[in-house]
Chain A
Amino acid sequence: MALLSPWRADFPALAVLEAQGQTYLDSAATAQKPQALIDALSGYYTCGAANVHRAQHQPAERATRAYEDARIKVAKWLNAACPTEIVFTRGATEALNLLAYGLEHLIEAGDEIVISALEHHANLLPWQQLAKRRNARLQVLPIDASGRIDLTAAAALIGPRTRLLAVSQLSNVLGCWQPLDPLLRLAKAQGALTVVDGAQGVVHGRHDMTTLGCDFYVLSSHKLYGPDGVGALYGRGESLLQLRHWQFGGEMVRIADYQSAEFHAAPLGFEAGTPPISGVIGLGATLDYLAGLDVAAIERHEQALHDQLLAGLAARDGIHLLGSPQVALASFVVDGVHHADLGHLLTEQGIAVRSGNHCAMPLMKHLGLDGATRVSLGLYNDETDLERFFSALDQSLALLR
């Protein structure tokens, strides 16, 4: 029986893309949006926009309530202890930069910041630059052949000088879950703060902050079927107290004078300027939509699709996977074929996949590659998308080989 997504019709773009001859298999870059989100954005703008946490008039009250409701929804989604543990940002990248500046005062010369070899630039560059500013050392945990962080090496590299560990939950290139529990335990045993980049991980399954036990968790709305321009930072109550303010202006200030000022605590103190109000409300609506779906059914569907993707790739000669992907995506290279050529010909056939370094240049270098092709799945993809992809792949390889 063909594998059909029962949620496909909830995403109007899928039908539009199909009519344009486009097969969307790039959800790890950004996901398509459910009608519920489009309705919420349209509703907000149609019924009267207003700034939040400022004016006392009715439209402002309505906007503020919707904005704060979204905070409650994100907190529930992550099972945070309290909505005040959620800070809205303009994306996952900004959330990581917030941390790298907000925690800067805790890093001394000679301290160590630990990341892994598979990090996306967003979870590498803020720490690399922080290390440079403070004369600290950036330690890079190696990965094994399957694409998981090597725990033996981690046990040796996470030591008494480790002040902070920042790792991805799910690699955007290798598609494998990282061993967070033992890694977080290693870091905590050294008294280090822990940051988890959940940009990819949050899209697949539900993750519980009370059991995960990290200090900070970062997510991106647009990969989670929500609007772009919004991210969220979860910070455990006591961990948020360690953050210094980093962007100034707007309603993050409590008392301002010409020469000095006092600021709000988190979350408001870290939401300088007018926040992405419509986007945050849209994220809330997206989470409402997602919360109404059968999580187990989504997981089964995604897993079945992923199995088909891996089986199709394995059935073709000369294709090599990067690592051993478990969910959501697969990156691969083909013997004797340049990824740019393959990307070119797949594009010609209306297949939207990603070809290149996937914002992880050091990882590609580490793997000895200058790029790869990545197919990534959303809950709206179904078997026909994979059939179109494989047929286009076969055509491309026939031309190129």
Chain B
Amino acid sequence: MTALPQAAAEALDTFGQASGWEQRARLLMQWGERLEPLDESERSEANLVSGCESRVWLVGAPHAGRWHFRAASDARLIRGLLAVLLARVNGLDAGELAGVDMADWFNRLGLSRQLSPSRSNGMNAVLQRMRELTG
């Protein structure tokens, strides 16, 4: 297995030490504050990911073959979930991206329920949009 991106290793370390839902929620909110901002023009209809109960925007582009995503949401915990998601995928090439097991990643962070099919928080829709962008 290839080494985790540095931000991912940090997420794993931090969330791994969290005990209980309150601490995980606090961490998610802290991580959410670290999202790189999207400017007004990027918060557009075209970048809006449908299927989320809060509004989520996602943009992404490859730089020298390595993908860099930015995302925003109007809900704080969703911003946190986006932050730990991006920590895992930013900097990967398309092949590495395709190989990431997202369910496993959220599971390792103690956030597995956030990807369950009945969740309407939209993480699955974000992953779908990511696949479309990198397809």
Write out the residue numbers on chain A whose beta carbons fall within 8 Å of the beta carbon of B77: 340-341, 344-345
Whether, in the assembled complex, B39 has its beta carbon less than 8 Å from a beta carbon of chain A, the answer is no
**Is B25 among interface residues, defined by CB-CB distance under 8 A?**
yes
- A340-B78 in contact (CB<8A): yes
User: Which of A340, A345, A349 meets B53, CB within 8 Å?
Assistant: A340
Task: Tell me, rounded to whole Å, the shortest Cβ–Cβ distance linking A108 to chain B.
Answer: 36
Q: Within residues 66 to 89 of chain B, which ones have a CB less than 8 A from any CB in chain A?
A: 74-78
**Closest A-chain residue to B24, C-beta based?**
A348
- Given the complex, which residues of A lie within 8 Å of B25, measured CB to CB? 344-345, 348, 399
Is residue A275 within 8 Å, beta carbon to beta carbon, of the partner chain? Answer: no
A348-B21, A348-B25, A356-B53 known; A338+B120 contact, CB < 8 A = no
Task: Tell me if A343 is interfacial: C-beta within 8 Å of chain B.
Answer: yes
B53 and A341 contacting across the interface, CB-CB below 8 Å: no
Proximity string of chain A (121-138) to chain B, C-beta cutoff 8 Å, 1 when within and 0 when not = 000000000000000000
Interface string of B102-135 (1 = CB under 8 A from A): 0000000000000000001100000000000000
Answer whether residue A231 sits at the interface, using C-beta atoms and an 8 A cutoff: no
Do residues B26 and A344 form an inter-chain contact, with CB atoms below 8 A?
Answer: no
Give complex CA distance A357, B54 in Å: 10
User: How far in angstroms is the closest Cβ of chain B from A336?
Assistant: 10
- Cβ-defined contact, B22 with A399, below 8 A: yes
**In angstroms, how far is the closest chain A Cβ from the Cβ of B51?**
12
A331 to chain B, nearest CB (A): 14
Is B55 an interface residue, CB under 8 A from the partner?
Answer: yes
| Inter-chain contacts of B78 with A (CB < 8 A) | 340-341, 344
What CA separation (Å) do A339 and B76 show in the bound complex?
A: 10
Cβ-defined contact, B55 with A341, below 8 A: no
Which residues of chain B have C-beta atoms less than 8 A from A395's C-beta?
A: 22
Q: How far is the CB of B79 from chain A (nearest CB, A)?
A: 9
Q: Is A340 touching B121 in the complex (CB atoms < 8 A)?
A: yes
Q: Report the minimum CB–CB distance from B62 to chain A (whole Å).
A: 30
B21 near A338: Cβ-Cβ < 8 Å: no
Assembled-state Cα–Cα distance A400/B25 (Å): 9
Asked if residues B120 and A341 are in contact (CB atoms below 8 Å), the reply is no
Per a CB cutoff under 8 Å, which of A338, A348, A349, A399 touches B54? A338
**Residues in B whose Cβ lies below 8 Å from that of A341:** 54, 75-78
Nearest B residue (CB) for A398 = B22
Interface membership of A26, Cβ < 8 A: no
- Near B by CB (< 8 A), chain A positions 28-72 give none
* A150 contacts B by Cβ under 8 Å: no
Q: Which residues of A contact B75 (CB under 8 A)?
A: 338, 340-341, 344
Is there an interface contact between A371 and B53, defined as CB atoms closer than 8 Å?
A: yes
A82 to B121, CA, bound (A): 47
CA distance A83 to B101 in the complex (A): 56
Verify A355–B22 contact, CB threshold 8 A: no
With the chains together, A356 CA to B54 CA distance in Å? 9
B17 CB to closest chain A CB, in angstroms?
Answer: 18
B18 CB, nearest partner CB in chain A, Å = 12
Least distance between A347 CB and chain B CB atoms (Å)? 8
Q: Determine the chain B residues whose CB is within 8 A of the CB of A400 once the complex forms.
A: 76
Q: Considering the chains assembled together, what is the distance between the CA atoms of A340 and B55 in angstroms?
A: 10
For A371, what are the chain B residues with a Cβ–Cβ distance below 8 Å? 53-54
- In the complex the two chains form, is B55's CB within 8 Å of A349's CB? no
Q: Would you list which residues of chain A between 345 and 397 have a CB under 8 Å from chain B? A: 345, 348-349, 355-357, 370-371, 395
7 closest Cβ pairs, A-B complex: A348-B21, A338-B75, A340-B75, A340-B54, A344-B77, A340-B53, A356-B53
- 9 A-B pairs (CB sep. < 8 Å): A338-B54, A340-B121, A341-B54, A341-B77, A344-B75, A344-B78, A345-B21, A348-B21, A399-B22
Residues of chain B touching chain A, judged by Cβ–Cβ distance below 8 Å, are: 21-22, 25-26, 29, 53-55, 74-78, 120-121
| A-to-B contact residues, CB < 8 Å | 338-341, 343-345, 348-349, 355-357, 370-371, 395, 399-400
